[in-house]
Amino acid sequence: MKTYLYLALAAYPLFLLSIAGCTDSAAGEQNVAHEAAPTTEIEKWYDLSFTMAERDSMQGTLENRLEAYQQIHAYSPAGDVPMSLYFNPLPIGFEMPKEQKRHNWNLPKTVNLPENPADLAFYPVADLAVLLRTGKITSVELTRFYINRLKKYGDSLQCVVTLTEELALKQAAKADKEIRTGTYRGPLHGIPYGVKDLFAVEGYKTTWGAGAYKDQVIDQTATVVNKLEEAGAVLVAKLTLGALAMGDVWFGGVTKNPWNTVQGSSGSSAGSASAAVAGLVGFAIGTETRGSIVSPSTRCGASGLRPTYGRVSRTGAMALSWSMDKVGPICRTAQGAALVFQSIIGPDGKDQTLLDAPFNFDAGRDMRKLKVGYIKSYFDSSKNANDALALEAIRNMGVEPVAMELPTNVPVRALSFILAAEAAAAFDVLTRSNRDSLLVRQDKWAWPNYFRAARFIPAVEYINANRLRFQLVQEIHAIMKDYDVVITPSFGGDQLLITNLTSNPCVVVPSGFNEEGSPTSISFLGNLYDEGTLLEFAHAYQQATGHEDVHPEWLRE
């Protein structure tokens, strides 16, 4: 069992540096009053209070520590070197699911090409799979179709960093030959997709959305890209992300919401959500640390899955938070997300956080047999009318959700700096080299300021925060284990932070449109490693509502 501890470099507090001018001589008493005020002023930022004698005693130890820090800085491990200790999301007593059942995708028996060729852009993964398998379209034809749309609309949406046209056409030709000769790899075979540009692809730039890395080429291909190639999928584009996985502002501009191009797409999986909804790719891959799949999926009207931590390999992906980063699909439907997810899960022999657990999906499962809860206080305080309408639609499915809450004794918001500490460590060299000035955003709430401030998070506080995180995992599991699905407004209360800390999976799907004509969403939460139940429930909801079938008219030309 992996340990619950975390490793972080100890950031030496500012107040410790202030004692350098103190003296241990008797005559130094005259300096005490002079030094006490500024030192005490700095100590308050750490909730500490030391005497001058205590400060003086620490000085030698701190000088030694400073030397150790400088040696570590000189070494500067490569960006793909993870922590040696890993977050374990499994609560005490949790039983890992073991049975792998036969998938029931319930793919349509027949699918025809649309009268309006542009409508093909919005076919879900399931329909594209049938078209390709039955030979009604070739992968090369579909790939050229999506590449043309990426070229036509990519600039308007500012969602594309790099077209991988040469690679895509080569992969598509291979897919056509295999399908034609009876070597069928599965439902993703021949389907073009895009990947968030924090995943390395050998021979192509991997920019992380940031000016400081816009010419970076990593001699590696991410595991998730390799797994999709093994499934026969075709990589057509590397898509935008907010710089270093924050927001929708990248070095080339602001990625747009396809429903309202005056508005950003949110982030950080900005291009993945925008391109999927705009019909520029068959599906896309995103990542989430604290909302980076849920938020852009909500803004753009996509169907996204944030899986359990340790489900999908992060090998070859930019590290932001070793204990919170998660990889998941962003599609036009929940069924599509299930089809993609089953191709990217599982160990790769490199990412040591991965656990091998079954993934089961039955599109025909009776939802009325599930125990479903809804977080009542979040719905009561919601200002989004579509949240209540989503609950009504679910009741019309024959499901009667039970009112419940997610109470916890843990001060959840206080744990936010766990992410800041890990991100600052990941981008330590960027901060100390001052190359963080190359990022577009330089405001108080942007990464450069977060990284600098995080240098002064004490290691003791970081570890204690993670001890509280362990407690949070136990408390939330004690509640969630009584439900198969829990329904919540996507941004209700603290659930987005809570479930990213505990690693409970989430499926987010469209729930309609607001008064401004932009999409809204509803989220379904589940138990660890039970993404299948959530995706089945989301699929049933979409079958009952059809919100995912509406597409921006200007993109149907």
DSSP state of 375: E
Query: What number is the average pLDDT over the span 102-118?
Result: 97
Given 139, 196, 256, 272, the catalytic residue: 196
- Nearest Cα to Cα of residue 439 among 262, 289, 288, 247: 247
Mean pLDDT value across residues 299-304? 98
Annotated catalytic residue within 139, 265, 266, 268: 268
Who contacts 57 (Cβ-Cβ below 8 Å, separation ≥6)?
none
Sign of CA dihedral 84, 89, 91, 95: negative
Confidence of residue 136 (pLDDT cuts 50, 70, 90): very high
The single residue of 139, 272, 274, 292 carrying the catalytic annotation is 292
What is the pLDDT, as a whole number, of residue 80? 85
**Integer-rounded Cα radius of gyration of the chain:** 25
Q: Give the pLDDT score at 12.
A: 40
321: annotated active-site residue: no
What's the rounded mean pLDDT across residues 528-552? Answer: 98
Report the CATH fold assignment for 117-410+463-555: Amidase signature (AS) enzymes (3.90.1300)
pLDDT at residue 37 is higher than 70: no
219 three-class SS: coil
Which residues does residue 375 pair with via DSSP β-bridges, in sequence order?
Answer: 404
Per the annotation, the verdict on 292 as an active-site residue is yes
In the predicted structure, residue 6 carries a pLDDT above the cut 70: no
Looking at residue 20, its pLDDT comes to: 39
CA 405/CA 391 separation, integer angstroms = 16
Domain ranges of the chain: 1-75, 117-410+463-555
How many angstroms separate the first and last alpha carbons of the chain?
A: 55
Tell me the two tokens of residue 388. Answer: 């209540």
CA 474/CA 357 separation, integer angstroms: 20
**Which of 25-39, 55-69, 139-153, 221-235 shows the lowest per-residue confidence on average (mean pLDDT)?**
25-39
Average pLDDT in the chain = 93
**pLDDT the model gives residue 39:** 59
Structure tokens at 421: 């500490």
Catalytic residue status for 49: no
pTM for this structure? Answer: 0.92
Between 26-35, 165-174, 366-375, the lowest mean confidence (pLDDT) is in 26-35
Instruction: Assess whether pLDDT exceeds 70 at residue 7.
Output: no
User: Are 524 and 485 within 8 A, CB to CB?
Assistant: yes
Pairing of strands 234-239, 192-196: parallel
Give the tens place of pLDDT for each residue, 156-209: 999 999 999 999 999 999 999 999 999 999 999 999 999 999 999 999 999 999
Nearest-angstrom CA–CA distance, 128 and 141: 12
The per-residue pLDDT for 333 is 98
